[in-house]
Structure formats: C-alpha cells, structure tokens
Amino acid sequence: MARTRQDRRNDFDEFFRTAVATFTEFRDNDPKAEKFQNIYMLNICPGSRAGGTNNRVVEVFWDRRPFETITQGRNWTALTEYGATLLYERDDSGFVIVSIYPANTDNRKPIESSITLDIWLDPIKLKDKSFLKKHWNDLMAYMESTSLDGNPTFLQRQRVSYLRTFKNLVVDNKWTPTKSSVFIREVFKWALTVGLSGIIIYALTQLTQPKTTETEIQLKEVNRNLDTVSKHLDKKSEGNSDLKTISITTDSIAVKTKEILKTIEKQKTK
C-alpha cells in the first residue's frame, strides 16, 4: 500500500520526539565530540533554535563561542565562531530535506553556505539509527574540517571531499548541481563531439575513397611482373639481338600497362 502524506508526517513527528535522545547518544559515544562539547556545546532543538515552535524543523548544531578579542582605543570586540549545523526540514508533502552548514566566522567561510545531504527523503528512514548515525558522522567531519580548531582525520577529509563532489552545494544562495554530474556531463559532451567527428570523418573517407576494381588489381600485378622480367632480360640480352628484341617488347608492354593504370586513376577522380 502506498504511503500517504499523513504517514510521512507521522514518521517525522516520531523523529521530532526522539531526536534529543538519539543525538545525545551519538555525542556521548563519540570520543571526538568531547573537545567540541567543552568548547561549543551541542544543541539539539526540535522545533528550531528560534523558540522551538516549528514542528517541521529539527536542528542539531554546535553553538557559538568567542575565540579572540580585539581592541580599538577604549573599545573592544569579541570575535565569534559559529559551529556547524545539521538541519532537518519537512516540506508540505511530508518529505524531508537534510542539510549541513559549516562552522564559520565573519571573516572565514568556505565557498559553500551549505551541503544538501538528502532531498525528498521519506522520513521513515529517520527511524533507522544507523542512517541517522551517517548524518552525525557527516556533521562531525564537517565541523572538524571547517572550524578554527578542527583537526580532521584522513577519513573525515575524504568524507567532506566526497560530500562536496557528489552532493548539491548552495553557493551564493543558489542551489548548484553536483560537481560529479557536471564532470560527467562535460565528459559525455566531449566524447559525443569527438566520437561524432570521428564517425563523420571515417564515413566521408569511406565514401570518397576510390574503389579498387579487380581489373586494376590484375593490371598492377602484371605490371610488377613485367618490370621484373624486363630487368632480367636486360641483363641477359647483352650481345643477343633476339633477347634484346624481347626485352624491348616487354618494356613496351610494361609502359602500356602503366598508361592504362593512369587512365583508370583519372577516371576515378572525375
């Protein structure tokens, strides 16, 4: 039986109710989360960070923290870093969009403002803890890679590189196609262009290439044989008038054969 919009909404509501317990468990069981917990503190906000009243949103994010102060005369300003965010948003049809946002400061931001992890996600998948754990690992890798004091492992760097290549980025408030799809499209375009050009060139070559007739092949073979015989006769005919006559006749036939071949070539070029 096909799932309805209400089915999807019910599943998201269940995720909404259990999100705090689920992501708290992920944090407590992840040794790498401890340093961020001490500096930023993890916030799990069903209903969004803006009051918690939006039943379509669940936010999981590392909070802000001051990292430096600057003074100008008698005034001073605290520079602030904002931690990475994992955002779940339910749309009108009950499907879910999952995005992650990088850690950033006012002066230091990656080129993308967010990465879309999943689009049109059926919220029934949000019941699967192993599926949610992947999102948690994406958040942690992104936090390590974009925060000022992050220290991503090799696998975390590869994970973020994968996300930036195979997932949709939002750049300058515009949703962009994946880098992998752009690359594949360009390769396909190149292959199609070069391949088509090659096929056309091959076809034109075959169509315009003169066809060698059986007669022409035989004449060429005769001409080669006559040349060979003529050379032998020239050597033997010294002092022998009969052989010399035969040699001259053979040369004459060879010349005539060459003329016939030239005539055939001219006919083919017309």
Closest CA to 104 of 86, 82, 87: 82
Closest CA to 178 of 110, 119, 96: 119
Task: Check residue 116 and give its pLDDT.
Answer: 97
Cα separation, 247 vs 109, whole angstroms: 93
Task: Check residue 231 and give its pLDDT.
Answer: 61
Work out the percent of the chain whose per-residue pLDDT is above 90.
60
For residue 188, what pLDDT band results from cuts at 50, 70 and 90? low
The two tokens of residue 63 are: 């909070």
Task: Write down the mean pLDDT value for the chain.
Answer: 83
Cα separation, 2 vs 120, whole angstroms: 16
Asked if 260 and 221 count as a contact pair (C-beta separation under 8 A), the reply is no
DSSP string, 130-171: HHHHHHHHHHHHHHHHHSTT----HHHHHHHHHHHHHSEEEE
Cα separation, 206 vs 68, whole angstroms: 74
pTM over 0.75: no
Positions of E strands within 191-231: none
Asked if 176 and 121 count as a contact pair (C-beta separation under 8 A), the reply is no
Angle, alpha carbons 24-27-32 (nearest 5°): 170
Among the residue ranges 66-80, 87-101, 165-179, 218-232, the one predicted with the least confidence is: 218-232
Task: Check residue 254 and give its pLDDT.
Answer: 57
Domain boundaries, the chain: 5-176, 178-209, 210-269
- pLDDT tens-place string over residues 88-132: 999 999 999 999 999 999 999 999 999 999 999 999 999 999 999
For residue 20, is pLDDT > 80? Answer: yes
- pLDDT tens-place string over residues 209-225: 555 555 555 556 555 65
